[in-house]
Amino acid sequence: MNIELRHLRYFIAVAEELHFGRAAERLNISQPPLSLQIQTLEQQINARLLTRTNRSVSLTQAGEQFLRHAYQILAQVNDAAEQAARIHRGEVGELTIGFTSSSPFIGSISRSLRRFRQLHPHVHIQMEELNTKQQIGPLLEGKLDLGVMRNTVLPEALHYQLMLREPLVAVLPEDHPLAAGNPSHLPVQALADQPFVFFSRLVGTALYDEILDLLAAAGIRPYITQEVGEAMTIIGLVSSGLGVSILPASFMRLRISGVRYVPLEDPHFGTQVWLVSHRHRPLAAPAQALLDLLLEDRGLA
């Protein structure tokens, strides 16, 4: 049996018009080839579908049954084609994104995610909060499609694109002398002798190495009195008066009582946010669509 979709379309046209001439006109073909195709279809399924007289065309019982199935088959084919096209456009599917704890506080990232949800409501997004170094393994293994992370040393198999540069800010207790007078900027040297609340080396966050390297370049070896695992905990301990810290400016969106954020004067005190993917594994359409939105919005506050 070699039934083609055009046979079904031809049959449906004749069944709906009950007239070969009108059906041929509707299909934009001549009548003899249409009659031949219907005969071929009947031979293929070994059943008479239409009763023909000089004056009329009508469906047989088999034709009525076949018409119902023909409608269903064409509808399924159209649905399958539309589904494939939507997948190709990135409108359906799923993707898994790794993100650092500061990512939701970066305006361009949250805006891109919101736009993506509006444009692609049928894509399932799985967000996994991981620090920069924790994302590398899952990206290599294909467990993450994209990573939103801080600048760090990457294996050759991973590729990054710069999304934005973000300044670092001093995080001070509200009643700290350095916060007096609500200063607009603060020299990093002012933090040199202050008790410091910072990440633990064991956590493996890229900010640990980056900020300590910047301080070392400025001739500062911070007096770290409290080591914790999360930026939120750092801010909480600063609000309790247990020390000062340095964090990316995106955390300024996090308003906690008793904390003052002050930009640092040194323009070198900044960090980068990267979009990271596997260099040799093509992105699925939904992941590519989100990547494009993130890059389109990059650098925006």
At 301 the pLDDT is 45
Find all residues with CB under 8 Å of 238, minimum gap 6, and list them: 171, 172, 173, 197, 244, 245, 258, 259
**Strand runs labelled E in 74-194:** 92-99, 122-129, 146-150, 158-173
Together in a domain, 178 and 230? yes
- For the domain that residue 30 is a member of, what is the CATH number? 1.10.10.10
**What's the token pair of residue 213?**
């390297």
Together in a domain, 18 and 36? yes
> Distances from the Cα of 275 to the Cαs of 56, 61, 169, 219, in angstroms?
67, 62, 22, 31
Q: Give the chain's domain count.
A: 3
At 93 the pLDDT is 79
At 143 the pLDDT is 95
At 92 the pLDDT is 64
Together in a domain, 261 and 189? yes
Together in a domain, 55 and 137? no
Together in a domain, 78 and 100? no
pLDDT in tens, the chain (301 residues): 788 899 999 999 999 999 999 999 999 999 999 999 999 999 999 999 999 888 889 999 999 999 999 999 999 999 888 878 777 776 767 899 999 988 888 888 989 999 999 988 888 899 999 999 999 999 999 999 999 999 999 999 999 999 999 999 999 999 999 999 889 999 999 999 999 999 998 887 888 999 999 999 999 999 999 999 889 999 999 999 999 999 999 999 888 899 999 999 988 899 999 999 999 999 988 899 899 999 987 754 4
- For the domain that residue 146 is a member of, what is the CATH number? 3.40.190.10
Q: Residue 59's domain spans which residues? A: 5-89
Of 281, 232, 292, nearest to 100 (Cα)? Answer: 232
Together in a domain, 99 and 68? no
CA dihedral (192, 193, 199, 202) in degrees, to 10, reads 100
Together in a domain, 256 and 177? yes
User: Which of 63, 89, 115 represents a domain boundary (last residue)?
Assistant: 89
User: Which of 89, 120, 148 represents a domain boundary (last residue)?
Assistant: 89
User: Which of 42, 69, 89 represents a domain boundary (last residue)?
Assistant: 89
At 87 the pLDDT is 74
Together in a domain, 239 and 199? yes
At 168 the pLDDT is 95
Together in a domain, 249 and 125? no
For 199-249, what is each residue's pLDDT tens digit?
998 887 888 999 999 999 999 999 999 999 889 999 999 999 999 999 999
> Distances from the Cα of 291 to the Cαs of 70, 132, 151, 253, 275, in angstroms?
41, 18, 17, 24, 8
Together in a domain, 71 and 215? no
At 299 the pLDDT is 55
**What's the token pair of residue 82?**
């539309």
Measured distance between the N- and C-terminal CA atoms of the chain, rounded to whole angstroms: 63
CB 274 within 8 A of CB 283: no
Together in a domain, 70 and 120? no
Together in a domain, 201 and 128? no
Find all residues with CB under 8 Å of 226, minimum gap 6, and list them: 195, 196, 197, 198, 237, 242, 243
Rg (CA), the chain: 32
Question: Considering the entire predicted model, what is its pTM?
Answer: 0.69
Question: Quick one: 255 exposed, middle or buried, by C-beta within 10 A (0-12, 13-18, 19+)?
Answer: exposed
Longest Cα–Cα distance of the chain, Å, equals 105
At 33 the pLDDT is 93
